[in-house]
Structure 1
Amino acid sequence: MIIKFFGTRGSIPVCESGFQEFGGNTTCVAVMDDSKKGDILIFDAGTGIRKLGKELMQRAFNPEDKIVMAFSHFHWDHIQGFPFFGPAYDASKNIDIIAMGADLDITNLKSIFSHQMESTYFPVNLDNMGANFRFHLKKTNEEVFKDGSTGRLLSNAHSHPGGAHGYRLEVNGKIFVYCTDIEHGDSLDEKVIDFAKDADVLIHEAQYTPEELPKYRGWGHSSWEQAIEVAKLAGVKKLYMTHHDPEHNDDFIRAEEKKCQAIFRNCFFAREGDEIKI
């Protein structure tokens, strides 16, 4: 399993100099097998998905191969790259879009994407993009699959304005957990700790420093201190922190990363282009 970051910024993209080492594009993470062939699983479609799309357009796809896009939630910074995803305009591509969670209150998943592509906002509407889209609203917290390997995808609801879900991918004994846009509150969310239990890799958002966090209560985000505590309590092997605040430049994040690694050695602030092999 290979996990690759295409977008690591939270809230809004940043393009100034001094913000490029860790990345200026909003959230997008891709998961593929070691051969980089076959199906691909994408978490969220922030502006980073544009670069992912360019890579995928250079890749050979078999007719049965799917692109699966799973969404933590639908705030703007997690969907704003979707209209610029190249494979979405290719009639040979099959794209499954899923939202997963027993407590989801969404009634029409397709409408979320079609509304943002109405003529007021974008010149091409969803039905004219070209790819073969299928929308799956899964009112379940677990999906078992068999496709050359056996595994399962689980979801977990956590605190964020409007709601959000984390995902846990288990394939052939390997565990990857994706948990972004979460506010733990005064104490850590025990469900999140259990959800991340024994993960080989945990991606956990860490938009704020511990000093900043009290100023932003109710905004729906975490500190790096909380992310590290989740990783330690869950027995996580490697932690990548993401959803970098748009006010945090490379020098700032690099300095915070050193503080974090002094506490939990196998932790990193995610950089766009980082690849993790499990």
Structure 2
Amino acid sequence: MTIKFYGTRGSIPVCENGFQEFGGNTTCLSVTGEERDDILILDSGTGIRKLGKELMQKKFQTNQRIMIAFSHYHWDHIQGFPFFGPAYDSSKDIHLMAYGEDNQITDLKEVFGKQMESIFFPISLDNMGAKFTFTIKKINEEFFPNGRLLVNKHSHPGGAVGYRIEYNNKIFVYCTDIEHGEQLDERVIAFAENADVLVHDAQYTPQELPNFRGWGHSSWEQAIEVAELAGVKKLYLTHHDPEHNDDFLKREELKCQKRFANCFMAREGDEIKL
């Protein structure tokens, strides 16, 4: 299993100098297995544009699948989809999936169709070209062969879910846009148990967090506490605040590593092989 970051920024893309080492694109990462070149994409922030370009440059067989699943549907997690190159290729089958046992989404196609209405975008969803499948799924769905995908709902305005992928005796957990509150969410700790890699929201510093109660995000200190209590081997912190430049994030990363040595601020282009 290989995980690659294409977007690590939260809330809004950042283009200025001094923000590019960690990346200015909003949330997107890919997960691939070994048996075939199926790809699972988690969230479609602006980082999905570069991922799409990479996919279009590869020889992609007709029986291979592009699957896109979402933590939630706030704009910074879907705004890159209209710029996803494979979506304009009539030979591509793209599966968009809403996961969760008590999912509030009843019409997934409508979510993506609305942001591509003519007042917002010149090309409609129905005219993009690829064949789209929109599916609302429950938990414990099959992932790649010999793997499974689990879903856990957590606290965020409007709701959000985390993903746990178990594949070839390795565990990857993705948990962004989460607000723990005064106490850590015990369900999240259990969900991340024994993960080889945990990707966790860390938009704020511990000092900043009290000023943003109710905004739906975590501090890096909370992310580390989850990793410690869950027995996580490696932690990547993501959803960087648009006010946090490269120098700031490097300083905070050093603080994190003093507490949890195998901890990193996620950078666009980071690739993890399990």
TM range (shorter): over 0.9
The equivalent residue for 1:250 is: 246
Count of aligned positions: 274
Instruction: Give the drift of 1:142.
Output: 1.5
2:20 is paired with a residue of what secondary structure?
A: coil
> How do 1:169-188 residues align onto structure 2 when only pairs under 5 Å count?
169-188=165-184
The aligned residue for residue 2 of structure 1 is: 2
Instruction: State the partner residue of 1:43.
Output: 42
After superposition, the C-alpha distances for 1:198-233 in whole angstroms (9 at most, x for unaligned) are: 001000010000000000000000000000000010
User: Following the alignment from structure 2 to structure 1, what is the Cα–Cα distance between the partners of residues 108 and 185?
Assistant: 27
Please identify runs of 4+ aligned residues in structure 1 that moved more than 3 A.
Answer: none
1:228 corresponds in structure 2 to 224
Matching of residues 52-67 of structure 1 within 5 Å: 52-67=51-66
What are the Cα deviations for residues 53-74 of structure 1, in whole angstroms up to 9, with x where unaligned?
0000011111110100000000
1:272 aligns with 2:271: no
Secondary structure of 2:242's match?
Answer: coil
Distance apart, 1:144 and its partner CA:
2.6
Task: Name the SS for the 1:207 alignment partner.
Answer: coil
Separation (CA, whole Å) in 2 of partners of 1:10 and 1:100: 21
Partner of 2:13: 13
Q: Of residues 109, 119, 142 in structure 2, which corresponds to 1:144? A: 142
Mapped to 1, the partners of 2:53 and 2:106 lie a distance apart of 32
Counting aligned pairs with the same residue, the percent is 71
In 2, Cα distance between equivalents of 1:144 and 1:107: 21
Q: Which residue of 1 aligns with 2:73?
A: 74
- Residue identity opposite 1:33 in structure 2: G
TM-score normalised over the length of structure 1: 0.97
Consecutive unaligned residues of structure 1, counting only runs of 5 or more, are: none
Partner of 2:101: 102
Offset at residue 34 of structure 1 (A):
5.0
User: Which whole-Å deviations, capped at 9, do the CAs of 1:83-132 have from their partners, x for residues lacking one?
Assistant: 00000000111100001001111110110000110001000000110111
Pairs within 5 Å for 1:182-197: 182-197=178-193
SS in 1 for 2:147: strand
Structure 2: which 5+ residue stretches go unaligned? none
Measured in 1, the distance between the counterparts of 2:135 and 2:169 equals 26
TM-score norm. by structure 2 comes to 0.98
CA shift for structure 1 position 141: 2.0
Task: Return the alpha-carbon distance in structure 1 between the equivalents of residues 182 and 160 of structure 2.
Answer: 19
Q: CA RMSD in A?
A: 1.0
